[in-house]
Amino acid sequence: MLTINLLPESARKVSPSTVEQFHRTPLMWIAVAGMVTLPLLLFVPLHLRRHRLQQLQATISLLEPKKARVETLQRSLQQLQAQEQAFRGLGAAGEGRWSRRLNTLSRVTPEGIWYTELELEANRGLLIQGSAVEQTGPERGSIARLVHDLKGDADFMAPFKDLQIESLKRVQEADQEIVQFTLTAMMAEEPK
């Protein structure tokens, strides 16, 4: 290619200025390459960390039900340990006393009453749940008689402040009327 410069000599440029040639210099190519690679270098680790975060969140969401089950088991274990402590504390005062109290409970239980749950906790006391067949005649009031007989036994009542009927509920099953009851005996300050 042939270039002809028709400008007077004083106005002619001998060579292009460095500013005009800057885009052709290696420094410019390095700057452009740096501008392209810097965002890539920042984006790749950021993308990898986001991906890792999503994986961890998915793992956490998979572990949530297991964590809930473990927490439930831990609460159950703590309750059982508290009950064990209550029984050990009560048993330390006299192993035979509780077997005698249970024998008393069996002995004074009127005909037609059965127990569905006996629960002893140090902070709540004794909870007795059961049912009774509704009776007529002299047998009527068997739950009240049970409470009266248990209150009258000093050995049975020794660790308790009081024994009360907490609830009564009448239920019809087939042709028989049944009374479901709950008795509570709060622990005395210092179990005997």
pLDDT in tens, 30-47: 888 888 888 888 888 899
**What is the distance between the alpha carbons of residues 33 and 47, in angstroms, rounded to a whole number?**
21
| pLDDT band, very low/low/confident/very high, at 120 (cuts 50, 70, 90) | confident
What count of other Cβ atoms lies within 10 Å of the Cβ of residue 106?
9
Helix, strand, coil percentages for the chain (3-state, nearest 5): 55, 25, 25
Which whole-number Å values give the CA distances from 33 to 22, 165, 180, in the listed order?
Answer: 15, 87, 85
| pLDDT band, very low/low/confident/very high, at 15 (cuts 50, 70, 90) | low
| Res 75 pLDDT > 90 | yes
Mean pLDDT of the chain: 82
| pLDDT band, very low/low/confident/very high, at 65 (cuts 50, 70, 90) | very high
SS3 1: coil
Please name the helix (run of DSSP H) or strand (run of DSSP E) that holds residue 162, with its range, or none.
strand 160-173
Instruction: Note the pLDDT of residue 73.
Output: 95
| pLDDT band, very low/low/confident/very high, at 191 (cuts 50, 70, 90) | very low
Range from 1-5, 54-58, 101-105 carrying the lowest mean pLDDT: 1-5
Instruction: Note the pLDDT of residue 183.
Output: 92
